[in-house]
Amino acid sequence: MAGFVEIGNDDRSIPPRRIGTLLEAAREVLGYAVIDGNLQPWAGLRPATPSGRPIIGRSPLANLFLNVGHGSLGWTLAAGGARLVCDAVAGRAPTIDSAPFALPAR
């Protein structure tokens, strides 16, 4: 179960009311009558680029490949990003156009 985004905040604490809201949604949408008491709430930082487009592929440093800056699209772009990195590491032509995700030139 995943839930909320806080924009512009480095605080990883989770207000208890947020957990309550997620539990209510799980009960309502998924039909759970009982939720196991062994909940482990977690929060992490999800960096994003200013444009919202991630940076995926080879970096200027030898043997450093990037798959960063997905923000709220992390799960959405996970498989495609991983494929681009695998293709770059293996020296294969990418299976999807990698140009939109290249590290911007300085």
Q: Whole-model pTM?
A: 0.62
Q: What is the pLDDT of residues 57-75, one digit of tens each?
A: 989 999 999 999 888 788 7
Q: Rounded to an integer, what distance in angstroms lies between the CA atom of residue 54 and that of residue 76?
A: 11
Which residue's structure tokens are 């207000």?
A: 15
- Closest by Cα among 51, 52, 84, 42 to 65: 84
Q: How confident is the model at residue 93 (pLDDT cuts 50, 70, 90)?
A: very high
pLDDT value of position 9: 73
Per-residue pLDDT, 36: 64
Rounded to the nearest 5°, which phi and psi values hold at 61? -90, 135
Domain range list for the chain? 1-45, 55-101
Instruction: Check whether 56 has a pLDDT greater than 90.
Output: yes
| Cβ neighbours for 100, distance < 8 A, ≥ 6 positions apart | 53
Q: Which residue has the higher pLDDT, 41 or 9?
A: 41
Q: Which two tokens stand for residue 13?
A: 């604490």
Q: How confident is the model at residue 34 (pLDDT cuts 50, 70, 90)?
A: low
